[in-house]
Structure 1
Amino acid sequence: MRDQLEEAHRHRDDGYGRAQHLNQVELPKRFYKDVGVAPVDGGFAVTLDGRQVRTPGKKIPIVVPAVSIAQAMASEWSAQGTHIDPATMPMVRLINAAVESGEELVSELRAEVMKFAAGDLLLYRADSPQELVSQQEVTWDNALVKLARQFGVSFQPTVGILHQPQPQPTLDRLAQAIEQENLLTLTALVSITGITGSGLLAIGFLHQLFSAEEVWTAAHLDEDYQIAQWGADEEAMERRAKRREEFDVAVAVVDALRA
């Protein structure tokens, strides 16, 4: 299941922003010296040698509502060496994806979170070994209880992988919980959802039911159990580290806009 989620996450931007491809054979040379953050109409912008940064595809001027987001983007631009490597710029990539998606895709972003929530990671349980079953019951049931109390809903977890529909009133109320969120917040929630495999954890984090670390731990419970049993694979851990970078960036966006 984790492999499927990783594959889905690698293609997360395909329909939401057409951001720069990360597998370029030749990286573009750095063309600027100075990086800054400037207040503009509607928020804050990153400047390169005094010029406002634009998206790579549609060349849309990038304006973000929180200075902390602009500062994070500026830090990534400043950290580039002789060439610009988008793979080392997760905040820039996320914001580019949001801006190029445009407001017309807000409903699709909400639908993406809800698609995961309807068949959520937390709702499909292992039948063995007992140690893993117990860990899922403690961690995942605790998360479901918090969500149920917050939104007045109920869930129907199942053992195995056969589809288990969730009550429609539950899905409707969870959808309402993200109904008013803006483009940047929803883009970040889609990122968190894709990385974790859980729309429920993403919604819970948005509403401050879980900390970022609790979300990460719950989402990687199965993976951590396998590591404890068989040890860590170096390539898998490298992929996990990259996922964590992108997760932390999405968390920072949600936190900044929530504040």
Structure 2
Amino acid sequence: MLALPRNTLLSLLKTRCPNCLKQKNYATRKRFYRNTGIVQNENKWEITLDHRRLKTPNGKVFSVPSEQLARAIAAEWDTQIETITQPTMHLTSLCNTAMDNPGKCTPHDIVNFLLEYLPTDTLLFFSDEEVELRALQEKKWTPIIEWFQKRFNVTQEVSRDLQPPAVNIETRAILARHFLSYDFTALNAISFGVEALKSPLLMLACMERRLEPHEAVMLARLEEEYQLARWGRVPWAHELNQADLTSRVAASILVIHTSADRHSAKSKAKPSETTAPFT
């Protein structure tokens, strides 16, 4: 299974600060529990808040199929110090959406969304006006595009104007089969990560461990960073946005990897009793 140190998880998932809350005007509520923990129930893992089971917005018992993911979610609740700021709790939100499925989506619905998103991928649009920016895009983005073509044995055009590049039928079919190899929870996380990065290619590179989340975010923000280098930036505001995007992508990748590892791992004997509190 994917193993991340607890401190690393906290640094990736915790983006709360006074400026963040003030600027984004998040709705918060006071923390009502002292301790967080996890408990195994048959082949599922549940999150506990002072020994009470966490539930989804629709009232279902919140459960995940991976101990590691359960620990990460418990850590996410543990990072809420005085107030609970749920819009920043991306792991919890992803799992709530997968369990409640408020949009009544099917796996095929999500895959169709991802395929339709591909022609609008940020990496497929090179600047047709600024020579320096285009050179930077070619330098930074071309290796990812080449990796994508080699990894999936496809050919993908890029656009140098406002017209979306063509995506052939073979590419769509190959990617459809690839995406459908993931379960619903992972597909929901893939969609979340693609929307954060505005790029299926960057999300695939993270999923395949070609890129780290922070590297993908910097590539997604390449044009913005280029403009900021020329015209200046607002102190802390752009860094905050970058940190928030990184936490979103990191949460998506953790859900995807634990899902994929669960399918590939060998079955383990059920322990007689398993509890692992976070305090």
Which of the five TM-score ranges fits, normalised by the shorter chain? 0.7 to 0.9
> What secondary structure is seen at the aligned counterpart in 1 of 2:48?
strand
Q: 1:86 to 1:141 in 2, by over 3 A?
A: same
Deviation at 1:82, TM superposition (A): 4.3
Aligned to 1:251: 253
Provide the rounded CA distance (Å) in 2 between the counterparts of 1:219 and 1:118.
15
Deviation at 1:258, TM superposition (A): 3.2
Query: Could you report, residue by residue, the CA deviation over 1:143-199 in whole angstroms, capped at 9, with x for unpaired residues?
Result: 111111111111111112123322121122122211111122112211210111101
**Which has the higher mean CA deviation after the structures are superposed, 231-240 or 119-128?**
231-240
Q: 1:118 to 1:47 in 2, by over 3 A?
A: same
Q: Is the 8 A contact 1:147 1:209 kept in 2?
A: no
Q: Is the 8 A contact 1:178 1:203 kept in 2?
A: no
Deviation at 1:254, TM superposition (A): 2.3
Q: What are the equivalent positions in structure 2 for 1:1-259 lying under 5 Å apart?
A: 23-24=26-27, 27-56=28-57, 58-101=58-101, 104-234=105-235, 235-259=237-261
Q: Is the 8 A contact 2:90 2:248 kept in 1?
A: yes
Aligned to 2:272: none
Q: Is the 8 A contact 2:214 2:246 kept in 1?
A: no
Alignment-mate amino acid for residue 129 of structure 1: E
Gaps of 5+ in 1: 1-21
Deviation at 1:54, TM superposition (A): 0.9
Gaps of 5+ in 2: 1-24, 262-279
**Which has the higher mean CA deviation after the structures are superposed, 109-118 or 181-190?**
109-118
Deviation at 1:122, TM superposition (A): 1.3
Q: Is the 8 A contact 1:205 1:212 kept in 2?
A: yes
Provide the rounded CA distance (Å) in 2 between the counterparts of 1:82 and 1:216.
29
Provide the rounded CA distance (Å) in 2 between the counterparts of 1:23 and 1:231.
27
> What secondary structure is seen at the aligned counterpart in 2 of 1:38?
strand
Q: Is the 8 A contact 2:183 2:259 kept in 1?
A: no
RMSD: 2.2
Provide the rounded CA distance (Å) in 2 between the counterparts of 1:83 and 1:143.
40
Deviation at 1:119, TM superposition (A): 2.3
Deviation at 1:37, TM superposition (A): 0.7
Alignment-mate amino acid for residue 175 of structure 2: L
TM-score by length of structure 1 reads 0.81
Q: 1:95 to 1:77 in 2, by over 3 A?
A: same
Provide the rounded CA distance (Å) in 2 between the counterparts of 1:116 and 1:32.
41
Name which structure has the greater RCO, CA cutoff 8 Å, separation 6+. 2
Q: 1:213 to 1:86 in 2, by over 3 A?
A: closer
TM-score by length of structure 2 reads 0.76
Provide the rounded CA distance (Å) in 1 between the counterparts of 2:29 and 2:214.
35
Provide the rounded CA distance (Å) in 2 between the counterparts of 1:89 and 1:179.
26
Q: 1:178 to 1:42 in 2, by over 3 A?
A: same
> What secondary structure is seen at the aligned counterpart in 2 of 1:158?
coil
Q: Is the 8 A contact 1:177 1:203 kept in 2?
A: no
> What secondary structure is seen at the aligned counterpart in 1 of 2:192?
helix
Q: Is the 8 A contact 1:36 1:74 kept in 2?
A: yes
Deviation at 1:214, TM superposition (A): 3.5
Deviation at 1:206, TM superposition (A): 2.0
Aligned to 1:14: none
Provide the rounded CA distance (Å) in 2 between the counterparts of 1:176 and 1:123.
22
Deviation at 1:104, TM superposition (A): 4.6
Provide the rounded CA distance (Å) in 2 between the counterparts of 1:185 and 1:86.
20
Query: Could you report, residue by residue, the CA deviation over 1:7-26 in whole angstroms, capped at 9, with x for unpaired residues?
Result: xxxxxxxxxxxxxxx854xx
Aligned to 1:9: none
Aligned residues: 235
**Which has the higher mean CA deviation after the structures are superposed, 215-224 or 173-182?**
215-224
